[in-house]
Amino acid sequence: MTLTKISLLSRMQCGHKYTATQLSHLFSVSRVTVLGMLRALVDEGQLQVTRTNSRVIHFTRELPESQQSGGVDSRAVATFPVTRNVEGCLSNYDQELAARSRLALLARDRCR
């Protein structure tokens, strides 16, 4: 897999901490190459840098702005339209429940 900004960001999960060494092993490139790409992404504001001690630098991908502010998720979920309209009183409801209960018990007994 070739190392590009898009491929690097797509492999990094939001909120997880990564080191340059981890990412260099993931892409099979040198640590210096990954560090240059990570620094460019930090300058663009797409990554954050945190230091846990003097030697280890972690890079964290930030949440998109729409999710940081508590906005609506941009992904939509497809659902079927509701086409059933129930008018009047329900009939044979107890018989339907009893039939489903018997079917569930039969399936449970067959699996034993």
Of 14, 23, 20, 18, give the one whose Cα is nearest residue 62.
14
Does residue 95 belong to any structural domain of this protein? Answer: no
Report yes or no: 61 and 47 within 8 Å, Cβ to Cβ.
yes
Kindly state the tokens that stand for 22.
């981890």
Residue 33, domain member (yes or no):
yes
Average pLDDT over residues 8-14: 87
Query: How many domains is the chain partitioned into structurally?
Result: 1
Asked whether residue 59 is domain-assigned, the answer is yes
**Is there a domain that residue 78 lies in?**
no
On whether residue 45 sits in a domain, the answer given is yes
Whether 10 is in a domain gets the answer yes
Three-state SS annotation for the chain: CCCCHHHHHHHCCECCEECHHHHHHHHCCCHHHHHHHHHHHHHHCCEEEEECCCCCEEEEECCCHHHHCCCCCCCCCCCCCCCCCCCCCCCCHHHHHHHHHHHHHHHHHHHC
Predicted confidence (pLDDT) per residue in 22-77, tens digit: 998 988 899 899 999 999 988 988 889 988 777 888 888 877 665 555 555 567 77
Q: Which domain holds residue 34?
A: 5-64
pLDDT at residue 99 in the model = 93
The pTM assigned to this predicted structure is 0.54
| Residue 58 within any structural domain of the chain | yes
**Residue 14, strand partner residues:** 61
What CATH number corresponds to the domain at position 32? 1.10.10.10
CA atoms within 13 A on the CB side of 47: 28
Q: What average pLDDT does range 106-111 have in this prediction? A: 86
Q: Is residue 90 in a domain?
A: no
